[in-house]
Amino acid sequence: MRAVVMRERGGEDVLVSTRVGLPVPGPLEVRVRVRATALNHLDLWVRRGVASPRLPLPHILGSDVAGEIDALGPGCEDLEVGARVMLNPGVSCGHCEACLSGRDNLCRRYRILGEHRSGGYADYIVVPRQNLVPIPPGLSFLEAATVPLASLTAWQMVFDRADVRPWHTVLVMAAGSGVSGWAIQLCKLAGARVIATAGSDEKLQQARELGADEVINYRSEDYGARVKALTAGQGVDIAIDHTGADNWASSLRALRWGGTLVTCGATSGYEALTPLNVVFYKQLSVLGSTMGSKADLFKIARLLEQGRLRPLPFEVLPLEAAAEAHARLASRAFFGKLVLEV
């Protein structure tokens, strides 16, 4: 089968288009014919060796996959070959206390497609059957590929960690990113008021189209001061910020007394300075979050089918242009997702 493999860790040029053996599904596994794979920043971290630096090579990246069931392993005979599916990116043991509690992303054997095992930059992928979620009618393969990883990540932050409520004002940083695009939509579903930031007026317009009530261009305005002005000097109840070290202290200061910051990433760097006086004096909560429970993707699919959530805007490139897509992702010169058509 065709695949784009990562032969070593490094720049975009380590991604090579080649042919590899067709994977065979084992017990309780299925093979999926990949039709679309969306990129995530995780792909860049793995390629550079920042994430999973001891991963055996060569490796196939790609965590967000949509396609059709192609072949069934033993114990999957009830599934239908040809069914349209999107894949839950998280693979867990299925029998530990965390998994049995529906908190499979806390499983100590939790693995992510494209990070710890072969992903979707290929014609085919083999996954456990519990990772299949039917694509809602009306969604294309390209649209479905934009959904899993980023929407699950946003879901856990908005509903499980921050517990966003209708009376909350939520600051969503970097609206152009996939996670933030979903976070804006989910906060609006929860009935909250959303203030979104981005680095260009074009991205801010798209953030408004996803439901943001107020927008701030962080390149031309001091977002901390604007947040204060938009909240009558109070600050926001909740900040959703995965931009990392650059904005860490400013986002903490943008919170109201008793407010909560949730983070699921650190694009500009892990080593941030925390003004502890702000944390304890204002009685803030700082919460970490990674991925979401597999079951939540079914809820997201239902909301997509009902039209209460919609796929993020995306750009399409062919699989063979994976290296070019990585460069584009790193540039952040687009809104939403980048999808490889396979």
Interface contacts to Zn ion, rule CB under 5 A: 92-93, 96, 99, 107
Bin 38: left if φ > 0, else alpha if -120 < ψ < 50, else beta. Answer: beta
The minimum distance between CB 62 and Zn ion, in angstroms, equals 23
By beta-carbon proximity to Zn ion, the closer residue of 20 and 93 is 93
The minimum distance between CB 160 and Zn ion, in angstroms, equals 18
By beta-carbon proximity to Zn ion, the closer residue of 105 and 185 is 105
The minimum distance between CB 97 and Zn ion, in angstroms, equals 8
By beta-carbon proximity to Zn ion, the closer residue of 23 and 292 is 292
By beta-carbon proximity to Zn ion, the closer residue of 92 and 118 is 92
The minimum distance between CB 90 and Zn ion, in angstroms, equals 10
The minimum distance between CB 105 and Zn ion, in angstroms, equals 10
Query: What pairs with residue 134 in β-bridges?
Result: 85
The minimum distance between CB 101 and Zn ion, in angstroms, equals 9
By beta-carbon proximity to Zn ion, the closer residue of 99 and 216 is 99
By beta-carbon proximity to Zn ion, the closer residue of 105 and 118 is 105
SS3 of residue 98 by DSSP: helix
By beta-carbon proximity to Zn ion, the closer residue of 106 and 287 is 106
The minimum distance between CB 137 and Zn ion, in angstroms, equals 32
The minimum distance between CB 88 and Zn ion, in angstroms, equals 14
Query: What pairs with residue 71 in β-bridges?
Result: 31
By beta-carbon proximity to Zn ion, the closer residue of 83 and 98 is 98
- Distances in Å between the Cα of 154 and the Cα atoms of 89, 180, 235, 240, 297 are 14, 7, 21, 9, 11
Q: Which residue is nearest to Zn ion (CB)?
A: 107
